[in-house]
Amino acid sequence: MAGDGGRVCGDCSLCCTVLRVDELRKLGGVPCPELRSPAAARELGGGCGIHTSRPAICRGYRCLWLQGGLDEEDRPGRLGAVLDLVTRGAETRLEIHEAEPGTFDRSPRLRSIAGRYRAATPVRVLDVGDVSDPDRPYRILHPDGVEERVRGEHLTRMCDGEVVEQRRLPWLERTLRRVLIAWRRRRFDRF
Binding residues for ligand SF4 (CB under 6 A):
1, 9, 12-16, 21, 32, 34-35, 48, 50, 54-55, 58, 61-63, 65-66, 76, 82
Side-chain half-sphere CA neighbours of 136 within 13 A: 18
Least distance in Å: CB of 179 to ligand SF4?
A: 26
Q: Do the bridges between strand 138-141 and strand 123-126 make them parallel or antiparallel, or are there none, so unpaired?
A: antiparallel
Amino acid 24 reads L
d(CA 123, CA 79) in angstroms, rounded, equals 16
Q: Is the dihedral of CA 84, 109, 70, 91 positive or negative?
A: positive
State which residue, 98 or 147, has the beta carbon closest to ligand SF4.
98
The SS3 of residue 30 is coil
Least distance in Å: CB of 55 to ligand SF4?
A: 6
State which residue, 84 or 147, has the beta carbon closest to ligand SF4.
84
Least distance in Å: CB of 61 to ligand SF4?
A: 6
State which residue, 1 or 27, has the beta carbon closest to ligand SF4.
1
Least distance in Å: CB of 36 to ligand SF4?
A: 8
Annotate 87-98 with DSSP letters as a single string: EETTEEEEEEEE
State which residue, 17 or 121, has the beta carbon closest to ligand SF4.
17
